[in-house]
Chain A
Amino acid sequence: MLKRLITSREALLMLIILVLIGLVAIRFPRFITLSNLAGVFNDTSPLILLAIGQMIVILTKCIDLSVAANLALTGMVVAMINVAAPGVPVVVIIAVAIGLGALMGAFNGLLVWKLDIPPIVVTLGTMTIYRGTVFVISNGKWVNSHEMTQAFKAFPRYELFGMPMMSWTAIIAVIIFFIVMTRTTLGRSFYAVGGNPHAATYAGINVGRSQFWAFTISGALAGLTGYLWVSRYAVAYVNVASGFELDVVAACVIGGISIAGGIGSVGGALLGAIFLGVIKNALPVINVSPFWQLAISGSAIIIAVALNARSNKNHGRIILKSAEKTQ
Chain B
Amino acid sequence: MQVITQDQSSQDRTKPVLVLDGVTKVFPGVKALSEVSLKLFPGQVMALIGENGAGKSTVVKVLTGIYQPNKGDILLNGKPIHFSTPQTAANAGITAIHQETVLFDELSVAENIFLGHAPRSNFGLIDWPEMERRSVEILDGIGANIDPSVKLRELGIANKHLVAISRALSIDASVVIMDEPTAALSYKEIEELYELVDKLRSQGKAILFISHKFDEIFHIADRYTVFRDGQFIGDGLIEDVDRTTLVKMMVGRDISQIFPSRDSHLGDEILSVENYTHVTEFADISFSLRKGEILGFYGLVGAGRSELMQALFGITNLFSGVVRIDGAEVIIGSPADAVSNGIVYVPEDRGKQGAIIDLPIFQNITLPSLGRTSKNGFIRLAEEFKLARKYTKRIDLRAASLDTNVENLSGGNQQKIVIAKWLATQPKIIIMDEPTKGIDIGSKAAVHEFMAELADQGLAVIMVSSEIPEILGMSNRVIVMREGRIVSELTDDDLKPETLVQYAAGINRER
Contact = CB atoms under 8 A, between A and B. Distances in A.
Contact of A319 (B32, B354, B371, B400): B32
Contacts of B381: 183
Contacts of A324: 410, 413
Given A203-B421, A205-B367, A185 B355 contact: no
A195 interface: yes
A319 B29 contact: no
11 contacts: A184-B379, A191-B359, A191-B363, A195-B358, A196-B358, A198-B347, A199-B352, A202-B354, A204-B336, A317-B411, A326-B29
A320 interface: yes
Tier of interface size on chain A: 20 to 34
B374 A320 contact: no
Contact of B58 (A192, A319, A321): A319
B35 to A, nearest CB: 14
A323 B32 CA distance: 10
B370 A195 contact: no
Interface of B: 27, 29-32, 53-55, 58, 229-230, 313, 315, 334-336, 338-340, 345, 347, 349, 352-359, 363, 367-368, 370-371, 374, 377-379, 381, 400, 408, 410-411, 413, 421
B337 to A, nearest CB: 8
A154 interface: no
Given A184-B378, A191-B359, A191-B363, 9 more contacts: A185-B378, A196-B356, A199-B367, A201-B315, A203-B368, A206-B334, A316-B30, A318-B410, A326-B29
Contacts of A186: 377
Contact of B378 (A183, A191, A199, A321): A183
Nearest to A201: B335
Given A321-B53, A327-B408, A199 B354 contact: yes
Interface of A: 183-186, 188, 191-192, 194-196, 198-206, 262-263, 315-321, 323-324, 326-327
A291 to B, nearest CB: 38
A320 B53 contact: yes
Contacts, number: 112
B424 to A, nearest CB: 11
B56 to A, nearest CB: 10
Nearest to A261: B358
A321 B30 CA distance: 10
A316 B31 CA distance: 12
A319 B55 contact: yes
Nearest to A264: B358
Given A202-B354, A204-B338, A324-B410, A192 B367 contact: yes
Given A196-B355, A319-B58, A321-B229, A204 B32 contact: no
Contacts of A185: 370-371, 374, 377-379
B359 A192 contact: yes
Nearest to A323: B30
Contacts of A327: 400, 408
Contacts of B340: 204
Nearest to B408: A327
B29 to A, nearest CB: 6
Contacts of B31: 320, 323
Nearest to A258: B358
A204 B379 contact: no
B336 to A, nearest CB: 4
A113 B354 CA distance: 22
Contact of B368 (A204, A206, A318): A204
A203 B367 contact: yes
Contacts of B347: 198, 202
Contacts of A192: 356, 359, 363, 367
